Amino acid sequence: MASLKEIRTRISSVKTTRQVTSAMKMVSAAKLKKAQDAILQIRPYADKLHHILQTISTLLDDSVESVFTEQRTPEKVLIVLITSNRGLCGAFNSSISKTAVDLAQTKYYRQLQAGKVSFLVVGKQGEKYLKSRKMPISGQANHVFDSLTFEHASVLAQNLMDDFESGHHDRIELVYNEFKNAAVQNCTVEQFLPVQEEDSDLKNVNTNFIYEPSMAEIVNDLIPRSLKIQFFKALLDSNAAEHGARMTAMHKATDNASELIKELTLTFNKARQAAITNEILEVTNGANALNG
């Protein structure tokens, strides 16, 4: 059994750890409220705009063309992996990074073997994971989460659109954690470019739309706007999911520390009682020896 001093030192160490995890839980809870409000406010707008974009893309005729709806054979693929810059959030980073690697090794296995799959990493933790797996990283944008604004996100989204338009990539996939609630995050794979057509049979439905000023102008303005909103929503989803995962992880860590302190305190009391009993026995035996 460990000495009383060792147990007392360990109890003190665990209490210090519990103070840290409890503080981190409260900080993450405060940040989560703001991040959750942001994603819940933009999600209905982004989803509706994306639906409109898919609808229009399905109804485009030969007279109206957009490079962002051009369906090419995916020879050159870019996977945008969105993680966090910091750890201590459970399996948040490892699970989404594993999803991205699995995507490359299954859906784009042929392209990966040919060296035509690359990763753009948003978040230091994802970058570490990919480097440890020796995956090809074409760039990183870890600074985005330092100031998560639509202006910064739109610049990165515009760079992706420019790469697709120039033919540098034939397909761009987003891999990120979708925020559901503080305890649940869904690993999401979403095709960013080219724009996917609506799954429903819209061409068989009477869609008598009036376009003002013209369908071409609406498409040329709506598609880039929608793509930027879609990318910003993915960043906000991941940001909210990160704080939720960290709050949950720190809550569990705090509870585990409390349980460990109880067990160590019980062990300490038992050891102290045993030490006191031994001292009493030694005193009694010594007194009996003197009397004898």
Does a structural domain hold residue 272? no
Does a structural domain hold residue 284? no
What pLDDT sits at residue 62? 60
Does a structural domain hold residue 179? yes
**Chain position carrying tokens 């000495």:** 3
What is the residue range of 52's domain?
21-199+206-250
Does a structural domain hold residue 215? yes
**Chain position carrying tokens 């060792």:** 6
Report the CATH number that the domain containing residue 85 is assigned in CATH: 3.40.1380.10
Does a structural domain hold residue 281? no
Q: Which residues of 137-166 are buried (b: 16+ CB within 10 A; e: fewer)?
A: eeebbbebbeeeeeebbbebbeebbebbee
Whole-number average pLDDT of the chain: 89
Secondary structure element (H or E) that encloses residue 19, with its range: helix 4-59
Does a structural domain hold residue 246? yes
pLDDT tens digits along 2-34: 788 899 999 999 999 999 999 999 999 999 999
Of 192, 224, 216, 226, give the one whose Cα is nearest residue 60: 216
pLDDT value at 124 more than 90: yes
Contacts of 193 (CB under 8 A, 6+ apart): 68, 160, 161, 164, 169, 171, 172, 227
pLDDT value at 270 more than 80: yes
Secondary structure element (H or E) that encloses residue 78, with its range: strand 77-82
pLDDT value at 120 more than 90: yes
pLDDT above 90 coverage of the chain, percent: 70
Classify residue 123 by its DSSP letter: S
Secondary structure element (H or E) that encloses residue 187, with its range: strand 184-193
pLDDT tens digits along 89-100: 999 999 999 999
The better pLDDT of the pair 173, 282 is held by 173
What pLDDT sits at residue 3? 83
Does a structural domain hold residue 118? yes
**Chain position carrying tokens 């054979």:** 73
Q: What is the domain count for the chain?
A: 1
Does a structural domain hold residue 98? yes
Secondary structure element (H or E) that encloses residue 216, with its range: helix 215-291
pLDDT value at 204 more than 60: no
pLDDT grade for 208, boundaries at 50, 70 and 90: low
Read off the pTM: 0.87
pLDDT tens digits along 209-261: 777 777 778 778 888 999 999 999 999 999 999 999 999 999 999 999 999 99
